[in-house]
Chain A
């Protein structure tokens, strides 16, 4: 059940910025903090799995009006989804 604190940097455009904040405030997976100078918005994500968390972050990054997504805090008590790397396939040729 990962929890993360993110900082979203929002566009200067008032309409876009307002729409983005309204969207986030209506999303139960998010806790939204106070907008700071420079259009920086603190947001907390609360999801069931790391994969859902990553999907949510990607969704946030794609939201119109969001320029940057930075991470400030991460609780990783639900780690353990890792699947082993594929075996390496070395490709090389003999020295010519």
Chain B
């Protein structure tokens, strides 16, 4: 049989499996680990295609894909039927993930800007340029990454900065993505990250989406949910949203709320539970305490009594909530009915809608609070869970802690004991780690875009795996000014010539995805591993090598921070016989598994906050494992539900629930009260529309990869502005007309789409941000949550002007 016939049979098999929904109905065994390749695929494609597993490169779902390689090139992709997350399915982005490697404009050589032009230079020259910038002013150097860093890459950057330079000026793009979820978890449970997992999708009776367009943002998870209906199960879907989306089409209830109305809604549910007496008294009395903000909000707040909480929440009657949120009093009562019924299992899900919010920490806390107040917590399918947008936002940004205030494993730079632990593991002198958190994202870029004599004390930023020239808010303020300042130097490691790359002083070509070894951690605490499968193009090299090579050059130049207590190089690697391997030298980088060595060091941090990780080899065998992973009965076992007796190995025997990282040190979680407040900028006579920004199914993040995949680009070729039909009629706007959007910060012209993929309510417009030719973040606001420091991309005030009508053929 010809290879092509085998391929077609493989394609038919995958499609038939999906058509019969067999894949979704099957829950892969939690017991023995399946083989790395799916034998059903490998058997059909012949010996010339070599298959192996890898997590998808795109979102935070963490789907496992089977990657087919022939002749040193990724030639096929299939959903992995043995993967517990996606059970054989992939979304349209996932199926095309292999093509992300093969855009024709991959960066292949280091380039330095000289006289306004980018000119090729050698790797040693590039590494030397960075090292000398750092040597000249270590305190003025900052590292900016993202949840697209693999775990070993993020760990190397983290150790380089905090353990080497003694500087905490490292922050990820995840600050713009899920920082409010972090602060919500920390101030509620005393420790970050979801307690529950995607198994909830198979068990919930009711799913409440808090401002989350799951059908487009997490389509595979949404398919898992909707597929239960096709199998005859009853799943009630409640879509709380500021605009109708594809998700709304599947919802039993669509509750359109005014921006920031979610705060009032959460209080309204809580108030009804208290008024009716349908709160879960036993759960609250046994496991909860109450808390409110101090005059100046911070992570910890201050305690209050249950009676004070009751008094504060009482004014949020359904009628008042209707006034504040726009959701009818009847629907507020309907939500309270659901939360009052403990026979039903309720899953709350959210993502950017709650996180990109100037009250993001507050609404995160309040949704946790509604679940605990009502006792909807701790059973499969019954609890609150945040979703993430980047493949390792959890694994790298949150767990490795590439955030300005964190150390690996959830430890804090401001905690002396935590610093001691980190200094011990890194074998660096006591006092090496700076006790003050570094600059968060907005601060970092603001100081980079401010002249030195006006307080702009960051003069060099190294960007890896992200595209801030497109993703930062209010770009005219945070990004553009630095590009006109001679003493500000921007280094960018990337794979394509993004907006940030084009603005860079030094460009470093990076390897991506299966061109290197990697590990990532998804939204349900699942750590996954893959091996390099193909070579990167030209001189592109992994980011982890780049970081170690710069560290080594600094070591050679005499920077004391690149030496440990014994005077040895900070990133020493050893081979199986114990001999030192110069992994900083590209010729020897592949002599050892650098990922494995970094991970084995990193996982020593993981026990301190009960985020235990297994040895590297366990992840090689598994389709990911959810931490804490502890050894029991001779096997490494993952954990589905934290804090729950019988599930979490850290819960004391006999306890039903134990919040063992409680901020009040009494095993209790905190139920917070926050008042509804208006957003910092609202529509007015001059700027009468709300602007909401977000993503679309076909494109991921800033589109730098998905816009280079022909199928995805053709399916969604450019950004647009969704306009409400009545607003359009009033303003004389027709489908396809060019409309100019203006905010107080900038303007942008783009085509109008009236009630297109989404349908905004009157007075609201929506623009996706994936299109680098149509940069909506020139208009957005840099106002941010006071605790998480996460900006609000979901609401600012704009006006619309009809700019041009396309010529139409008669």
A contacts, CB < 8 Å to B: 1, 3-7, 31, 33-34, 36-38, 40-44, 46, 50-51, 53-54, 70-77, 79-96
Contacts and interface: CB of A to CB of B under 8 A. Distances in A.
A8 to B, nearest CB: 9
Given A93-B746, A95-B476, A82 B15 contact: no
B95 A73 contact: yes
A4 B92 CA distance: 12
Contacts of B79: 72-73
30 contacts: A3-B8, A3-B11, A5-B13, A5-B18, A7-B15, A40-B20, A40-B21, A46-B8, A54-B710, A72-B19, A72-B79, A73-B10, A73-B11, A73-B15, A73-B95, A74-B11, A74-B96, A75-B75, A76-B98, A77-B75, A82-B104, A82-B708, A82-B709, A86-B773, A91-B749, A92-B475, A92-B745, A92-B747, A92-B778, A95-B476
A36 B19 CA distance: 6
Contact of B99 (A1, A51, A76): A76
Contact of A71 (B7, B76, B95, B744): B95
Contacts of A80: 102, 104
B15 A44 contact: yes
B301 to A, nearest CB: 35
Interface of B: 4, 7-8, 10-21, 68, 70, 73-79, 89-90, 92, 95-96, 98-99, 102-105, 230, 475-477, 499, 707-711, 714, 742, 744-749, 772-773, 775, 778
Contacts of B748: 91-92
A77 B773 contact: no
B399 to A, nearest CB: 32
Nearest to B772: A88
Given A50-B710, A73-B76, A90-B778, 13 more contacts: A3-B8, A4-B11, A40-B19, A42-B15, A54-B710, A73-B78, A73-B79, A74-B98, A75-B11, A75-B75, A75-B76, A76-B74, A79-B102
B102 A82 contact: yes
A89 B718 CA distance: 13
Contacts of B78: 73
Nearest to A71: B95
A74 B15 contact: no
A42 B711 contact: no
Contacts of B8: 3, 31, 44, 46
| Minimum-distance CB pairs A-B, first 7 | A5-B11, A42-B15, A5-B15, A73-B14, A92-B746, A40-B19, A77-B75
Contacts of B102: 79-80, 82
A95 B21 CA distance: 54
A51 B710 CA distance: 8
Given A40-B20, A82-B104, A76 B96 contact: yes
Contact of A33 (B19, B709, B714): B19
B272 to A, nearest CB: 39
A50 B710 CA distance: 8
Contacts of B13: 5, 73
B12 A42 contact: yes
Given A4-B11, A76-B99, A70 B772 contact: no
A90 B775 contact: yes
B14 A95 contact: no
A36 B745 contact: no
Given A41-B19, A54-B714, A85-B772, A77 B73 contact: yes
B105 A38 contact: no
Nearest to B773: A88
Contacts of A94: 476
A76 B97 CA distance: 10
Contacts of A91: 746-749, 778
Interface centre among A1, A3, A54 (most CB of B within 10 A): A3
A89 B104 CA distance: 21
A18 to B, nearest CB: 17
A3 B79 CA distance: 15
Nearest to B711: A54
A74 B240 CA distance: 35
Nearest to A39: B19
A81 B713 CA distance: 12
Nearest to A6: B15
Given A79-B99, A88-B775, A72 B11 contact: yes
A91 B740 CA distance: 10
B760 to A, nearest CB: 22
Contacts of B778: 90-92
Nearest to A51: B710
A95 to B, nearest CB: 6
B76 A50 contact: no
A43 B19 CA distance: 10
Contact of B4 (A3, A76, A86): A3
A8 B113 CA distance: 51
B14 A36 contact: no
Contacts of B477: 95
Interface centre among B15, B17, B103 (most CB of A within 10 A): B15
A96 B20 contact: no
A85 B707 contact: yes
Interface centre among A3, A36, A79 (most CB of B within 10 A): A79
B710 A7 contact: no
B692 to A, nearest CB: 19
B526 to A, nearest CB: 23
B12 A88 contact: no
Contact of A37 (B17, B20, B68, B744): B20
Given A3-B8, A5-B15, A81-B710, A76 B775 contact: no
A31 B6 CA distance: 13
A83 B104 CA distance: 7
A72 B14 contact: yes
A75 B778 CA distance: 39
A88 B75 contact: no
Contacts of B76: 73-77
B104 A7 contact: no
A96 B742 CA distance: 11
A17 to B, nearest CB: 14
B105 A42 contact: no
A82 B17 CA distance: 31
B469 to A, nearest CB: 10
Contact of B15 (A33, A84, A96): A33
A82 B496 CA distance: 13
A74 B77 contact: yes
A95 B11 contact: no
Contacts of B772: 85, 88
Nearest to A86: B773
B709 to A, nearest CB: 8
B75 A70 contact: no
B18 A82 contact: no
Nearest to A80: B102
Interface centre among B16, B89, B230 (most CB of A within 10 A): B16
A38 B18 CA distance: 12
Contact of A38 (B4, B10, B99, B230): B230
